[in-house]
């Protein structure tokens, strides 16, 4: 197996996190051993524990950092000027841009958190709920001011939007014939049709 190239300016811990992200993304969390990670980084398996608390701690770190980036970018769009439909469109675009930056990490963030212990799953669920609430708030605002259809089920609409967004790393490609930005706009157009009141 070809070793994952190490960044010249990365610390051992940064290299471990980067390699773990690549391996969890390619082989899944259960399919990746501490020995696999250590081997790619160029350390003995036992030496890895000088830099990390364990494999699950690595998974949790990758997931929490990923959720935090989504939250920060979407919160920025949520707080931007404009109507509720302007904000929702900006939030969808912000989410897709984060996906496009690291699609492999996104797959881990949204699909491998179930491998965490119950306590760590609870932490992730709480943060995911806070992220979901941003979409709930903007939809409720849009329904209240007439931007969105008055008869939409906000909860179902939010789950539908996030469900679609969370699968974008499966098909989004930064080197395809259509730019990520254009794909993002098309995706937001399709999603907005279901909520607009006009």
* Domain shared by 41 and 73, yes or no: no
Most distant CA atoms of the chain, gap in Å: 62
Report yes or no on 4 lying in a domain: no
Number of structural domains, the chain?
A: 2
* Domain shared by 187 and 158, yes or no: yes
Using DSSP's 3-state secondary structure scheme, residue 82 falls into: coil
* Domain shared by 67 and 46, yes or no: no
| Residue 35: per-residue pLDDT | 94
Strand partners, 34: none
* Domain shared by 91 and 42, yes or no: no
CA distance 126 to 133: 11
* Domain shared by 88 and 39, yes or no: no
Report yes or no on 92 lying in a domain: yes
Report yes or no on 30 lying in a domain: yes
pTM: 0.84
Report yes or no on 57 lying in a domain: no
What CATH number did the domain enclosing 46 receive?
1.10.10.60
* Domain shared by 68 and 27, yes or no: no
Instruction: Give the range of the structural domain holding residue 141, as residue numbers without chain letter.
Output: 63-193
64-69, long-range: CB < 8 A, 24+ apart: 64/123, 64/124, 64/127, 66/102, 66/105, 66/106, 66/108, 66/109, 67/109, 67/124, 67/127, 67/128, 67/131, 68/127, 69/98
pLDDT tens per residue, the chain (198 residues)?
445 444 454 788 999 999 999 999 999 999 999 999 999 999 988 889 899 999 999 999 999 999 999 999 999 999 999 999 999 999 999 999 898 888 889 989 989 999 999 999 999 999 999 999 999 999 999 999 988 888 889 999 999 889 888 888 777 666 666 677 787 788 788 877 767 755
CA distance 193 to 157: 12
Report yes or no on 138 lying in a domain: yes
| Residue 165: per-residue pLDDT | 87
| Residue 175: per-residue pLDDT | 67
Report yes or no on 5 lying in a domain: no
| Residue 5: per-residue pLDDT | 44
Report yes or no on 22 lying in a domain: yes
| Residue 182: per-residue pLDDT | 81
């Amino acid at each position: 197996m070809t070793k994952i190239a190490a960044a010249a300016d990365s610390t051992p811990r940064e290299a471990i996190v980067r390699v773990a992200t690549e391996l969890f993304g390619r082989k899944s969390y259960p399919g990746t051993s501490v020995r696999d990670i250590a081997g790619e980084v160029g350390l003995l398996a036992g030496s890895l524990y000088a830099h990390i608390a364990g494999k699950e701690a690595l998974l949790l770190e990758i997931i929490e950092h990923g959720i935090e980036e989504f939250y920060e970018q979407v919160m920025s769009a949520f707080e931007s000027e404009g109507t509720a439909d302007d904000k929702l469109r900006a939030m969808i675009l912000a989410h897709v841009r984060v996906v496009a930056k690291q699609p492999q990490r996104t797959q881990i963030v949204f699909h491998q958190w179930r491998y965490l212990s119950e306590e760590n799953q609870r932490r992730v669920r709480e943060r995911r709920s806070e992220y979901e609430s941003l979409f709930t708030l903007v939809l409720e605002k849009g329904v209240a001011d007439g931007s969105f259809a008055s008869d939409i089920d906000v909860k179902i609409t939010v789950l539908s939007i996030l469900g679609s967004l969370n699968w974008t790393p499966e098909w989004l490609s930064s080197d395809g014939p259509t730019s990520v930005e254009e794909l993002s706009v098309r995706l937001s157009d399709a999603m907005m049709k279901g909520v607009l009141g006009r």
